[in-house]
Structure 1
Amino acid sequence: MRSYKAKAVTPIRLPDREGRIEALDAAGHNVFNLDSDAVYVDLLTDSGTGTMSDEQWAALMRGDEAYAGSSSFARLQSAVSDVMGFEHVIPTHQGRGAENVVYGSLLEEGDVVLNNTHFDTTRAHVANQGAEAVDCPVEGAWDREATGEFLGNFDVAQGREIADEVGAERIPVVVTTITNNSAAGQPVSLANIRETAELADELDAWFVVDACRFAENAHFVKEREPGQGDRALADIAREQLSYADAITMSGKKDALVNIGGFAAIRDDDLFERAKQRAILYEGFPTYGGLAGRDIEAMAVGLREAVDPPYVAERVEQVATLGELLQEAGIPIVTPTGGHAVYVDAGELLDHIPTERFPGQRLVCELYREGAVRGVELGSFAFPGADRPDYVRLAVPRRTYWREHLEHVAETAAAVREQREEYVGLEIVEEPPMKELRHFSARLEPVEE
């Protein structure tokens, strides 16, 4: 039984097949270019697509829209302090705004940034500063058949090896992303966070945590890590972040809002530098590109995110989707993570070579067959990276019901039955920055 009930609903409809085919062709075989009303079950992302609570909607009415000194900011500051343990907070329009504020204040050309795995916008912000993003995933992180409770961990030994190769002076920042979105949403252990913080200290580097899914990660720590099972979820969530010098946060994930984010920083001098950059790119430091009402909702959402029934149900729903897909014969990464199921498109469509984007082909066919929208996180989204061709099906928070998940599994089963008919894709238009090409590039089927 869910610990909540529906209070408002939005009608959705399944477009007819002819309409889906026309929409996909018009979108250039890139589902980012689809109109939302052409989608039936939208699993493109869990970022800002979830359902807010009645307390959050009520908080909207308290929004203080003052340009400076907003009381809404004071409530966000209090929530960040209580839930996450940081006093210095800079609101931003969303997570990539927080990345701009933090990495723009820390990085210079020629620097190297270590991360368990960089996500797309993080990698792009590092590249934008002229720095190099280097991933340090543990062995098995991208192996669908690997076993392990915390396959999202940072490989600390690998980090030390890279530091020896390039020189510690070139590494001003070490990052851990929780959960590890690019590595199939796998969690990171509390012990590993401590070890990674120690590595950063050895290198005299700043330790930054991408905290977008900090509550979901805390749930896995409580469930899986020895010695953590009797602790309160909120205590684990806070300790995870206690080792960080700074965090970047997309409020559109574990702050349960449709827009917003923030950076939180311990060091006074870094806070001042980041605050000045925020004024340039985001807005005055007490509103940061957001309306006061959005800040109010985010303050409430942060506290709701560490409520144990909510997080348990959230993770359980993702696991249910994974079970339904497995029953349909779809190869997925197990165990499932906290926010999404990752399908191994390279195995499902093994007749399509990597350079012809089997993951993007699967994304297109899921839409064509059942108006289900997912996202490719393989060779198309991460050009040049050595990683599998995964398709992520991200589940929005408190939004869909089991019947929707069953439709996704039935759609995937239909695609599996026809898989030999599909051909690869080639890019016909793409933006100059390849790290972001999957957001807007256009593709066409390969005629062979």
Structure 2
Amino acid sequence: MDKRYPAEPFRIKTIENVSMIGREERAEKMKEAGYNTFLLNSADVYIDLLTDSGTSAMSDKQWAALMTGDEAYAGSKDFYKLEEAVQRLYGFPYLIPTHQGRGAENILSQIAIPKDKGQQWVLGNMYFTTTRFHQEHNGAKFIDIIRDEAHDAALDVPFKGNIDLDKLQSAIAEKGAENIAYVCLAITVNLAGGQPVSMANMRAVSEICKANGIKVFYDATRCAENAYYIKEQEEGYADKSIKEIVLEQFSYADGATMSSKKDGLANIGGFLALRDEHLFEESKELVVVYEGMPSYGGLAGRDMAALAVGLEEALEFPYLDHRIKQIRYLGDKLREAGVPMIEPVGGHAVFVDARRFLPHLTQDQCPAQTLAASVYIETGVRTMERGIVSAGRNRETGDHHRPALETIRLTIPRRVYTYAHMDAVAEGIIELYKKRDTIKGLNFVYEPKQLRFFTSRFEYIEG
């Protein structure tokens, strides 16, 4: 794999000044936030790696598009620009815009999970928090059919996001094809460490599902990054353009949900794209209830205009080459210092393995939550927990879901930070790793019933 790190394929026209408060003040701010990095004030954060969702820097062309936005309540010209971009770049004929990805997940779950057929199941290559919530909220149960290797953080193999085809066929045989609402295929797989899915796997999943009358819907949030991995690592695709690869990816899907705040390079937005006209008509009825008119779906016209441009820019190879390799640069720095992480480094983030970073903490002591809080106190860098807290509780037993992966996510916003910022992040985490034995665990003091990782509060375990 190419170890060279390309320079930024852009010039910086506008800057935003940031400041760094002292360690003692950071410790107090973290305590006030209940040791939950989501509850920090962004003004108190030096380098913000909480998420890549809506945190991208928009281009001059996107800002220009914002200025010409058509804010008509119905039939905005910018809806048609966005529709054309999705049809041309992704190949889906029907488009429902939404305020962000979870709006699309909500609508898809309602139209694709039958309410009159008894227990329904959704199969997928590892859960995502909001996706699974909408699936379960609409009566389905989720079955993880990702390959086993995805649950081993230290194992460095390509396409760890692939669906295990034997698991897929076994689930169909056990549950019955008529009881499988759909297969949810994420490209890339966020909670596995941003791991990609191969084109061969997508093709095989499509063939199995078509033979059994099961629809396949993609979580397409990072589809451009997935296409980069296919071009780089899958035989037969080195000479294909990113646009060609993206079109082929979606040719194996019946539809897709998209959080445009990632590979749409926009600060807000999402959509549901479909092939089936009947499902499209059902979606139009629901989008009016939850989002807005079918021609804006909770978005301003200017946001649709910027998104139409962003979808195009996200498929440019120089941008993607820099994007992926900047993340690898950070991963290489940490790996050289012995910091444990999910291997290989994925497409949008470096996932530090909290189990191996803090082996003296049990999973019930929230090692990933603890590590995220400690990284902020030590460095001023904000990261996100992806472990037992994010996994939530089993709706039937009330016990925690206990994922094999217990990580913090160093999520790199697109076109925002430089290699020097990556150096600062690496140096701070390496220093923290040297004194990892002194870090105490956390327990809950407040826990909401749904999507608890956003607003839970914690305190240190004494003794």
State the TM-score, normalized to the length of structure 1: 0.98
Q: Which residue of 2 aligns with 1:145?
A: 154
Q: Determine the C-alpha separation between the residues in 2 that align with 1:43 and 1:416.
A: 18
Give the deviation of 1:108 after TM superposition.
4.1
Separation (CA, whole Å) in 2 of partners of 1:118 and 1:143:
16
Residue 423 (structure 2) pairs with residue 417 (structure 1) = no
1:86 aligns with 2:92: yes
Asked whether 1:42 is paired with 2:58, we answer no
Deviations for 1:34-85, whole angstroms, at most 9, x for unmatched residues?
A: 0101111111110110100000000001211011111000000110011101
Looking at structure 1, the residues matched to 457 and 99 of structure 2 have their Cα atoms a distance apart, in angstroms, of 27
SS in 1 for 2:72: coil
Corresponding residue for residue 324 of structure 1: 333
How much has 1:335 moved relative to structure 2?
1.7
**Once structures 1 and 2 are overlaid, which stretch shifts more, 132-141 or 30-39?**
132-141
Q: What is the number of residues matched between the two proteins?
A: 446
Instruction: Say if 2:155 and 2:344, in contact at 8 Å, map to a contact too.
Output: no
1:306 and 2:312 correspond: no
- Contact 2:330–2:426, Cα closer than 8 Å, also in 1: yes
Partner of 1:428: 445
Q: Distance in 2 between matches of 1:242 and 1:257?
A: 24
**Partner of 1:355: helix, strand, or coil?**
helix
Match of residue 288, structure 2, among 274, 279, 291: 279
Aligned residue among 385, 391, 403 for 2:420: 403
- Counterpart CA distance in 1 for 2:47 and 2:334 is 15
- Aligned 8 A contact 2:388 2:402 in 1: yes
Please give the alpha-carbon distance, in whole angstroms, between the structure 2 residues aligned to 1:388 and 1:181. Answer: 12
User: Which of 181, 187, 203 pairs up with 2:190?
Assistant: 181
Alignment counterpart, residue 257 of structure 1, candidates 248, 258, 266: 266
CA distance in 1, matches of 2:43, 2:365: 29
Alignment check: 8 A CA contact 1:328 1:409 kept: no
**Is the 8 Å Cα contact of residues 142 and 184 (structure 1) preserved in structure 2?**
no
* Contact preservation (8 Å) 1:328, 1:410: no
Residue in 2 aligned with 1:21?
27
Supply the AA of the counterpart residue of 1:419: R
Give the drift of 1:148. 1.8
Is the CA contact (8 Å cut-off) linking 2:112 and 2:182 kept in structure 1? yes
Letter in 2 for 1:21: A
Contact map agreement 2:114 2:181 (CA 8 A) in 1: no
> Does residue 438 of structure 1 match 2:450?
no
8 Å contact from structure 1 (residues 328, 412) kept in 2: no
Partner of residue 462, structure 2: 447
Name the residue aligned to 1:390.
407
Q: Note the alpha carbon deviations across 1:360-380, whole angstroms, 9 max, x for none.
A: 111011000011111111111
Q: Tell me by how many angstroms 1:202 deviates.
A: 3.0
Alignment partner of 1:134 is 2:143: yes
Name the aligned partner's letter for residue 40 of structure 2: L
* Structure 1: runs of 5+ lacking an equivalent: none
Counterpart Cα distance in 2 of 1:248 and 1:278: 13
Amino acid at match of 1:33: L
What aligned pairs does 1:327-346 form with structure 2 within 5 A after superposition? 327-346=336-355
Map of 1:46-195 to 2, 5 A cutoff?
46-108=52-114, 110-195=119-204
Q: 1:210 aligns with which of 207, 214, 219?
A: 219
Cα RMSD, aligned residues only: 1.0
Asked whether the equivalents of residues 91 and 285 of structure 1 are also in contact (C-alpha less than 8 Å), the reply is yes
Does 1:368 find its partner at 2:383?
no
1:220 maps to which residue? Answer: 229
One-letter code of the match for 2:279? L
**SS in structure 1 opposite 2:449?**
coil
| Identical-residue share of aligned pairs (%) | 45
Q: Distance in 1 between matches of 2:452 and 2:209?
A: 31
Secondary structure in 2 aligned to 1:310?
helix
Moved more, 286-295 or 406-415: 406-415
| Amino acid in structure 1 at the alignment position of 2:270 | G
Superposed displacement of residue 199, structure 1: 2.5
* Distance (whole Å) between structure 1 residues aligned to residue 337 and residue 16 of structure 2: 28
Map Cα deviations across residues 224-270 of structure 1 (whole Å, 9 max, x no partner).
Answer: 00011111111001110111111000110001000001010000000
SS at match of 2:310: helix
| 1:102-139 deviation digits (Å, cap 9, x = unpaired) | 11111146211001112111011111112111111112
Q: Shift in Å at residue 141 of structure 1?
A: 0.5
SS at match of 2:258: strand
What code does the residue aligned with 2:274 have?
Answer: I
Distance 1:389 1:202 in 2: 36
Measured against aligned partners, the alpha-carbon deviations of 1:143-197 in whole angstroms (never above 9, x if no partner) come to: 1222321111111210111222222221021011001111111110001011111
Maintained 8 Å contact 2:100/2:260? yes
> In the aligned structure 2, how far is the partner of 1:387 from the partner of 1:171?
25
Paired with 2:377 and 2:387, the residues of 1 have a C-alpha distance of 20
